[in-house]
A and B are shown apart, each in its own frame.
Chain A
């Protein structure tokens, strides 16, 4: 962990009796696209604002590039921020917005002009320099906010839910551009979002937060496929949970006895659980295969009846009622053929199958 650009060391922030952030300790590596993900009020924005210097930690220390930051005001920190509402100066045109932070850079007029032109090129808005702030669309404002921060060549770019105000199509486009931009310039991005899909798409690593605490830090694939706790498994994507108990555990394979699914065979190298331990068996909706004739095997198979369904275009979601479970299981099916949607009939008997690799086992207490 020698190449940490930001290091949180036991950082806490209390607003009166409200504990916004509680004992956060982790590192962000140089050049990483790192996301803070969590529901609103989980402390992710407070953590970001502490890096920017707008909040001072109640306890602990934030190191940026090896320097302690507690006594450094925002204007002297080597980080820049893209604000949630972009905070474009309304009295300045695009050029002057981008040039705002360059007053003390010691550049000549010509050098500065060149840098601004490069920045406008980078955000794909050449020729927009003379536009006023109010003449820009939401996506353009966001780009100007990016350029204004990036022209300062910060060690870390902080982004506070920058895509939240954009419509879906534009948001997806900006996600791709943001990711490309980050790889192109190689600056560390610290990105705050409540949108788990956005975090999965963009990040190298994600810190999942809840109620002021960092629950888990891992890569998107790891968080989705092998979550470390029920909270993370539930918060990221959809998940079906089934109560059970480990009956045998040898090497990488485990057998879990559940009420609703019967005997489940699991191969999960991360799960370190012993026989007799209470467990959650968790299966993602897309990892349960519906079959409409009896497959004839009892392991990793369950029989149910079709409940309500939702057609989502590329895939369909439907609920399957299981005999021993009140809550129906959610199953997602790719609509690979145009006629597939007509297969699903309510009250039809259906068998759900999964591989032993599809199952996540989590401790239950």
Chain B
């Protein structure tokens, strides 16, 4: 064997050894495809958006000098802030409704279903087999002027004229979004409930608590990680949703996503749209922080 072959083999072994010895190195190499996708697919666009928010629109061109004008516009015109607050209110309602509806479902699958849990979990994802748009349209059909609800109520004689408050308002948006995001709330709650050691529930009963107090003092606090995950999974994406409000929201159900969309579309003011997006991001981040802090305190207090 030649000298160079031996030495290259030694170097190869050294690299191998270093690779196997370093936990971090192995971790990064495992992560690298995702990491690359995250950097180019998420961090880069965010950077672009952030930069854009400090530029100005001049018809079809950008004025590429640093300016706070978009942000001062955001605060100068109350409409943006109002719509952002309304979006947060709607998303908050959606989150509350989704988690409240998802919890019993997740509880049922985790505690009451003994066999074929997988079948039930698959059944939950069945709505996702159709497109999101189609499901929103389905709600339009349900709630519309001559929709399922109205014609149904009319045929049994409860109403003579169709109800007009069903569609094109924040309630319709809340209802549609809550339905659309249900599975995202059920699954994390189910996972956290499933993980709870059943003997803990027996221990609580044994120590004198009834079924309801066992739920309050053991099941609920132990499933909080799932509830928090579900809340974030529903709240964060729905704040910026624009498909549902534009289809079932009407003028009163407009959300901040619709404003951003129009800035990048008809209104054609990309920098202002970028600035509004950044403001939404900051607000959501702040809200999530407050939420996490609040649930942390809640868990300590229940304990």
Contacts and interface: CB of A to CB of B under 8 A. Distances in A.
B171 to A, nearest CB: 36
Interface stretch (B96-104, B206-214, B259-267): B206-214
Contacts of B221: 91
A74 B202 contact: yes
A89 B203 contact: yes
Contacts of A89: 200, 203-204, 218
B265 to A, nearest CB: 48
A87 interface: yes
B199 A83 contact: yes
Contact of B206 (A80, A84, A93, A103): A80
B197 interface: yes
B37 interface: no
A84 B199 CA distance: 9
A314 B299 CA distance: 54
Interface residues of A, number: 27
Contacts of A90: 200, 222
Interface in A50-94: 52-54, 73-76, 79-81, 83-85, 87, 89-93
A80 B209 CA distance: 12
A133 to B, nearest CB: 10
B303 A96 contact: yes
A52 B202 CA distance: 10
Given A73-B210, A80-B206, A148-B207, A87 B303 contact: no
A73 B209 CA distance: 10
Interface residues of B, number: 18
Contacts of B207: 75, 80, 100-101, 148-149, 152
A104 interface: yes
Contact of A75 (B199, B200, B205, B218): B205
A148 B207 CA distance: 8
Given A85-B197, A89-B218, A91-B303, A100 B202 contact: no
Nearest to B209: A75
B200 A104 contact: no
A83 B208 contact: no
A74 B205 contact: yes
Contacts of B210: 73, 75
A101 B202 CA distance: 12
A84 B200 CA distance: 11
A81 B203 contact: yes
Contacts of B303: 91-93, 96
Interface in A169-186: none
A222 B303 CA distance: 48
Interface in A138-187: 148-149, 152
A52 B207 CA distance: 10
Given A74-B202, A96-B303, A87 B197 contact: yes
Nearest to B196: A90
A92 B217 CA distance: 10
13 contacts: A53-B205, A54-B205, A73-B205, A75-B205, A79-B206, A81-B206, A87-B199, A89-B203, A89-B204, A89-B218, A90-B200, A100-B204, A101-B207
Interface of B: 197, 199-200, 202-210, 217-218, 221-222, 299, 303
Given A90-B222, A149-B206, 15 more contacts: A53-B206, A74-B205, A75-B205, A75-B210, A79-B206, A85-B197, A87-B203, A89-B218, A91-B222, A91-B303, A93-B303, A100-B217, A101-B208, A103-B209, A148-B207
Interface of A: 52-54, 73-76, 79-81, 83-85, 87, 89-93, 96, 100-101, 103-104, 148-149, 152
